[in-house]
Structure 1
Amino acid sequence: MGTANDSSKDISDRLAEKHPKVVFVLGGPGSGKGTQCEKIVQHFGYTHLSAGDLLRAEKNSGSENGIMIQNMMNEGKIVPSEVTIKLLQKAMLDSGNDKFLIDGFPRNEENRAAFEALTKIEPEFVLYFNCPEKEMERRILNRNQGREDDNIETIRKRFKVFLESSLPVIEYYKGKGKVREIDAAKPVEEVFKEVKDIFNPKVPKVPKDENVEGRCMCCAIL
């Protein structure tokens, strides 16, 4: 009878056979990464996976794993990286796609190291939506009109956690030349223009004279 480790190895092997293209999407609360992920999905055919959404869905499913997640959250504990990674792997396999935006993960260095160790996958790059704290605050407060006093401290705490936990991940991938940083303070369409430049393959233009068939070299010179 197979063990849990055998099962994890099997799902990792099956996923590795697909040679998936993975892009980590990171940015603070209110940076607009969710909006941009929707546009990337529409224009470039990626599957968008949110680690937070997958955990919430599993928690609400009533499964044994979901009950464990619920209990950990109730106790204020952090769900182990392995649990989140298994949910991501299953969603990747179930999608039938081979191109993925993984949104809001890895949240910290431990997440990052565990993902690479368990999946044997390194991201193609990290798409980092860099947005000033004041602008992110303004966006979230506008989104949650009428509840400014209730949310301002929570927003600032979330931003502090992002700086402390996620910036080391960004710095790690910067050292590997894998960070594509976007100025996320701009309007949505201007931000997406920058995003498109990153995702569109750069195809060199062929001069017209070099792209004509049936011409001899002397004619080409002339």
Structure 2
Amino acid sequence: MNCGPGSGKGTQCDLIVKKYGFTHLSSGDLLRAEVASGSERGKQLNAIMERGELVSLIAPCTLILFFDVSDETMKQRLLSRGKSSGRVDDNEETIGKRLRTFHEHSAPVVSHYQQKCKTFSGELPPDEIFCSVCKCLDEIQSQASA
């Protein structure tokens, strides 16, 4: 998924895993686990994330699910989550940096993979978004089995 911070990608991934049995590998969760380990690498990753920058991750792309959400909605979701999450990157200053980084890096990805990109409105309720995501995934599964 190529989605902004606070766009609902975690919620949608949880629903996809339950329905389709896929494995959800969250780069954010993996990075936070490395930071929590206290390793030198974790310290370097933490510094990158505190600056609101992206950590390089490379994998072949077969499909991009893009949740289109306004910056204001993402900001409010992250600030709300930050009240209980304890995450170092859920504060107003870092959120602004993360949003700028997201826009700077997502536009070229979406453009490059436009044939593989499915866009959904992330402003809708999670159940409505998931219904649209399911239609997309079901279509892909039926094409693969044909």
Q: Deviations over 1:90-115 (max 9, x none)?
A: xxxxxxxxxxxxxxxxx58x64xxx3
- One-letter amino acid of the counterpart of residue 125, structure 2: P
User: Displacement, 1:145?
Assistant: 5.1
Aligned position for 1:168: 108
List structure 1 runs of 4+ shifted beyond 6 angstroms. Answer: none
Q: State the secondary structure of the residue aligned to 1:29.
A: coil
In the alignment, the residues of structure 1 paired with residue 45 and residue 13 of structure 2 have an alpha-carbon distance, to the nearest angstrom, of: 27
- Residue 128 (str. 1) matches residue 100 (str. 2): no
- Residue 68 (str. 1) matches residue 40 (str. 2): yes
Aligned position for 2:75: 137
In the alignment, the residues of structure 2 paired with residue 73 and residue 201 of structure 1 have an alpha-carbon distance, to the nearest angstrom, of: 38
Distance change >3 Å, CA 52–CA 197, structure 1 → 2 = same
Gap runs ≥5 in structure 2: 85-89
Q: State the secondary structure of the residue aligned to 1:180.
A: strand
- One-letter amino acid of the counterpart of residue 138, structure 1: Q
Please report the RMSD computed on the Cα atoms of aligned residues, expressed in angstroms: 2.8
Q: Which of 35, 55, 60 is matched with 2:31 structurally? A: 55
2:31–2:45 CA contact under 8 A, matched in 1: no
Larger RCO (alpha carbons 8 Å, 6+ apart): 2
Gap runs ≥5 in structure 1: 1-24, 79-106, 117-121, 205-222
- One-letter amino acid of the counterpart of residue 34, structure 2: E
In the alignment, the residues of structure 1 paired with residue 80 and residue 28 of structure 2 have an alpha-carbon distance, to the nearest angstrom, of: 23
Q: Deviations over 1:40-87 (max 9, x none)?
A: 00001110001122233234446xxxx23134246x458xxxxxxxxx
- Residue 152 (str. 1) matches residue 128 (str. 2): no
- One-letter amino acid of the counterpart of residue 31, structure 1: S
State how many pairs are aligned: 133
Identity across matched positions, percent = 38
Structure number with the higher strand fraction is: 1
Question: What's the TM-score once normalised by structure 2's chain length?
Answer: 0.75
Distance change >3 Å, CA 71–CA 133, structure 1 → 2 = closer
Aligned position for 2:132: 194
In the alignment, the residues of structure 2 paired with residue 153 and residue 190 of structure 1 have an alpha-carbon distance, to the nearest angstrom, of: 31
Q: Which of 30, 35, 45 is matched with 2:21 structurally? A: 45
User: Displacement, 1:162?
Assistant: 0.4
1:125–1:179 CA contact under 8 A, matched in 2: yes
2:31–2:42 CA contact under 8 A, matched in 1: no
User: Displacement, 1:164?
Assistant: 0.9
In the alignment, the residues of structure 2 paired with residue 142 and residue 56 of structure 1 have an alpha-carbon distance, to the nearest angstrom, of: 19
- Residue 185 (str. 1) matches residue 146 (str. 2): no
User: Displacement, 1:195?
Assistant: 0.6
